[in-house]
Structure 1
Amino acid sequence: MKIVPHTRPALQVVVLGGGYAGMMAALRLAPYARVTLVDPSDRFTERVRMHELAAGRPDVTHSRARLLHGTGIEHLAARATTLDPDARAVHTDTGRTLRYDRLVYALGSHTTPGGEPGERLYTAETADALHARLCRRPGTLAVVGGGLTGIEMAAEIAEAHPGWKVRLLTGATLGPGLSDRGRAHVRTALDRLRVTVVEGHRVAGADAVDADAVLWTAAMTATGGLARDAGLDTDPATGRIRVDAALRSVSHLDIYAAGDAAAARARRAGALRMACAAALPTGAHAAAAIAAETRGTAPRPLAFSFLIQCVSLGRKDGLVQKVRADDSPREAVLTGRPAAHFKERIIRFTLTFLRLAAHRPGALRLVPWIG
C-alpha cells in the first residue's frame, strides 16, 4: 500500500494595498503562501515621483500585471470595505469576501487637506489634476507645507512652469529635518527658481490663502479607518496601527502592518516616519515574519536604520542629506547635479528591488535594509 505523505494546506495571506510596502510584502510572501493582493488599480504608482507628475511628467505608473507575472500572486482589483478580524475575513466592493490566515495591512497614507479638494485646492494625490490647472492660464500657486514634499513640489513646478508665481508657506522652519548646510542649499535653489518662502506662517485652511491655486502638503494621515473600525489598536493622532517589534498588530496577532499604516519602531531608528525609505523594508519584514511563522520559528524584531534623505530641486539640482540612524541630520551633504542624478538612481532602484523580489528573491539578501 502506497502511503501518501500528509501536506499542510498553504497559508492564505491577504495583502491590503499595492504600494511600495504592499507590493514588497506580497512578492516576498509568494514562495511561502497563497497570496491575494487587494488594490483597485492595475497600475503601480511611483508615489515618490508625484512632484514630477504635477510638473508635467506624462506617467509615473507601471503595469502591476507585469510586476506580478510568474509569482502566483492573485491581484484583486477592488477596495476593501470591511475587515472582520473575528471571522478572519475581508469584504470588498466587488462583493467578494476573502478569508485569510494572515493579513498584511499596507494601505499607506494620504494627505489631509485644509479644505475640500477641487478646482482650487490640490494635494499630491491629485497631482495630475494640478498639472492640468498649471497648463491653463498662469497665476499664483501657494504650496502649504515646508517639509520635503512641499520643497520638491515647489521647486519642480517653479522650474517647469516659470509663468506661475510660486510661494511656499510653512508654519515652522523650512526643511526642519535638514542640517544647516542642507537647508541653506534648499534656500539657494528655491531663490534661484524664484520661489518665495514664508516661514512661521501657520495656515488654518485653503480659504485663508490668497492664491489662484493651493497645493496642500502639510499633513499626512495613515489610511487606517478600516483598521480602526475593525477594532484594531490605532494611534488616534496619526491613524497608524500599533504594532510590536515584528510588525504584528498589538491587538490582533494574525494581522501585520507595514509602510505608512504601521506605527513601527526599530531599536536604532526609533519611530519610523512615513516614507518610501521605510515602506520597502517594513513590507519585506512583515513577509519575513509570516514566513518564519510557517517554519515554526519566532519572528525577528525589525532592524532598520535611516541613512540619507534625498530631495529633488528640479531636474538639474538636488540635495542628498546624510542622516544618523534615527533620521537626525549630519552636516555632510551632496548637492547640485550629482545629487539630482543620485536621487534618480535611488528611485529607479525601488523598482529594481520589487523585480528582484519577484524573480530573484535571494539577491535581496545583499541589500542590508531589505534582505
Structure 2
Amino acid sequence: MAEHIVVIGAGYAGLAAAKLAARWTDARVTLVNERDRFVERVRLHQLAAGQRLRELPLADLLGGTGVELVVDRVTGIDADTREVRLTGGALTYDRLVYALGSRTDLGVPGAAEHAHSVSTAEDAEALAGALRTARAVTVVGGGLTGIEAAAELAESRPDLAVLLVTGGRFGAALSAKGARHVRAAFDRLGVRVRDHATVAEVRADGLLLGTGEHLPADAVVWTAGFRVPGLAREAGFEVDAHGRLVVDETLASVSHPEVVGVGDAAAIRRPDGLELRMACATGLPTAQQAVRALASRLAGREPRPVRFRYVNQCVSLGRRDGLIQFTRADDSPVERVLTGRAAARYKELVVRGTVLFERHPALPVG
C-alpha cells in the first residue's frame, strides 16, 4: 500500500513540496491549506498600496499532478498517532511535510490591536482599506519588507506622508553603495527615516518610542520581525527558541524523522552551520532538496545533505526603481549593485519566476 504524504501549508515551499512529492515518489499526496488560493506574498506590499494581484487558484496550480487539495485549517498534530487535526476532521499520515510558514510578530504592546502587516492577503487588504482615508503612515522595520512597503506606499500615494522607523542603522544589511541608493530613492519619494529608535507601544494615533516621544500616524505598518505557528512545539517536535522545527542536514526533523520541515517554519542550517534566513529565495531550492531527500529515503537510498549559497538580495523601490544587492555565499553584501529601472525589471522577473516555479517546481533553482 502506498505511503500517504500530507503537506500542511501551501505557500512557496509547501506548494512546491506537494507537487514534487507527487512527481518524485509513489506516495499518495494530500495538501492542506487554509485558503483555496496561492498568495504571492512577495507582492503583498503592492496589494496594500491598492494594486490588484492576479488570482492563482490552488486547484489550477495542482491540475494534473494527482495531489489532493483539502481547504481547511490545521488545529493540531498528534505525533504518536500521526494525525493532523483540522477544523473539519482529521488526516492520518505516514510522512508529514511541515510548511506552515510565518507571520508578522505583533508582540509589542498595542501592535496586535492597532498595527497592520503585509504577511497575508487579508492583512494587506485591511491595510489598503485603512489607507484610503489616511494622510500619514509609519512603517516600523528597516528590513527588506519595510523598505519595499514604504517605497510602494509613497510612490502609489504621493499625498501620503510616509515615515520609516527602525531600531538599528538604516540600510545596515546593505553595502554602502546599496544603502546610498535606497536613501536616494526614499528622498525622491519623500519617505522620511527615523533610525536607532525603539518602539515601546503602538497606539491608535501612532507610536510611542522608548524615549517617551510620540510619533503621530493615521496608520502603522508593522514589519519588524516574524513568528511561526506553535503547532510544532505543541506536537512535541523539537523546535528552536523561535518555535521553528529543528531539522537535520536533509531537512528531516531531528526528533521525528518522518516529518520534513521546509520554508520559514523550519530552522534550516547549511553544513557549515550558517542558518538560512526566512525568504522565498531560500524556501524554493531547499524545498526541492528536502523532497529529493524524502524520495531517496522512500526508495532506500542515502539522501544528500542540503546545499545552498546566496547570490543577491532583490529589493523593489516602487514600480520603476529597485536595488539588486549582490552578496557573498554567506549573504553578506559586496559593493556590487544593480539599481534603477534595470533593477526593477530584474526584481519583476524574479517575482514572476516564483510563480513559474510553482507551476513547474522541478525547474532548477538556486
TM-score between both structures, scaled by the size of structure 1 = 0.91
5 Å-filtered alignment, 1:10-21, equals 10-21=2-13
Determine the C-alpha separation between the residues in 2 that align with 1:101 and 1:291: 13
| 2:56 match: secondary structure | strand
| 2:351 match: secondary structure | helix
Determine the C-alpha separation between the residues in 2 that align with 1:205 and 1:144: 12
Q: Tell whether the 8 Å contact from 1:269 to 1:305 is kept in structure 2 after alignment.
A: no
Determine the C-alpha separation between the residues in 2 that align with 1:61 and 1:107: 21
Q: Tell whether the 8 Å contact from 1:46 to 1:61 is kept in structure 2 after alignment.
A: no
Instruction: Give the letter aligned to residue 87 of structure 1.
Output: T
The alignment's C-alpha RMSD in Å is: 1.3
Match of 2:332 in 1: 328
Q: Aligned pair 1:112/2:105, yes or no? A: yes
Q: Aligned pair 1:90/2:84, yes or no? A: yes
Q: Give 1:133 shift.
A: 1.6
Q: Aligned pair 1:216/2:222, yes or no? A: yes
Q: Which sections of structure 1, spanning at least 5 residues, go unmatched? A: 1-8
Determine the C-alpha separation between the residues in 1 that align with 2:177 and 2:111: 37
Match of 1:4 in 2: none
Match of 1:292 in 2: 296
% identical equivalent positions:
50
Instruction: Give the letter aligned to residue 79 of structure 1.
Output: R
Residue by residue over 1:284-325, the C-alpha shift from the partner in whole angstroms, topping out at 9 and shown as x without a partner, is 122111111111012110001111100000110000000111
Q: Give 1:240 shift.
A: 1.0
5 Å-filtered alignment, 1:292-371, equals 292-357=296-361, 361=362, 364=363, 367-369=364-366
Match of 1:232 in 2: 237
Residue by residue over 1:242-284, the C-alpha shift from the partner in whole angstroms, topping out at 9 and shown as x without a partner, is 1100001111111010000110011368110000011111221
Q: Aligned pair 1:183/2:203, yes or no? A: no
Q: Aligned pair 1:196/2:205, yes or no? A: no
Determine the C-alpha separation between the residues in 1 that align with 2:278 and 2:67: 26
| 2:200 match: secondary structure | coil
Q: Tell whether the 8 Å contact from 1:134 to 1:161 is kept in structure 2 after alignment.
A: no
Match of 1:166 in 2: 162
Determine the C-alpha separation between the residues in 2 that align with 1:216 and 1:151: 12
Residue by residue over 1:117-175, the C-alpha shift from the partner in whole angstroms, topping out at 9 and shown as x without a partner, is 45x42011311111112122x32111000000000000000110111111000010123
Structure 1 residues 322 and 331: CA distance shift in structure 2, 3 A: same
5 Å-filtered alignment, 1:103-142, equals 103-113=96-106, 114=108, 115-118=110-113, 120-124=114-118, 125=120, 126-136=123-133, 138-142=134-138
Q: Tell whether the 8 Å contact from 2:249 to 2:271 is kept in structure 1 after alignment.
A: no
Determine the C-alpha separation between the residues in 2 that align with 1:297 and 1:132: 53
Residues paired across the two proteins, number: 349
Determine the C-alpha separation between the residues in 2 that align with 1:164 and 1:327: 34
Determine the C-alpha separation between the residues in 1 that align with 2:201 and 2:194: 16
Instruction: Give the letter aligned to residue 115 of structure 2.
Output: L
Match of 1:5 in 2: none
| 2:154 match: secondary structure | helix
TM-score between both structures, scaled by the size of structure 2 = 0.93
Instruction: Give the letter aligned to residue 20 of structure 2.
Output: R
Q: Give 1:54 shift.
A: 0.8
Q: Tell whether the 8 Å contact from 1:89 to 1:100 is kept in structure 2 after alignment.
A: yes
Q: Which sections of structure 2, spanning at least 5 residues, go unmatched? A: 209-214
Residue by residue over 1:80-130, the C-alpha shift from the partner in whole angstroms, topping out at 9 and shown as x without a partner, is 1110111111111112x2111110000000001233545x42011311111
| 2:360 match: secondary structure | helix
Match of 1:44 in 2: 38
Q: Give 1:205 shift.
A: 2.6
Q: Tell whether the 8 Å contact from 2:111 to 2:201 is kept in structure 1 after alignment.
A: no
Structure 1 residues 28 and 324: CA distance shift in structure 2, 3 A: same
Match of 2:95 in 1: 102
Q: Give 1:210 shift.
A: 2.3
Instruction: Give the letter aligned to residue 313 of structure 2.
Output: Q
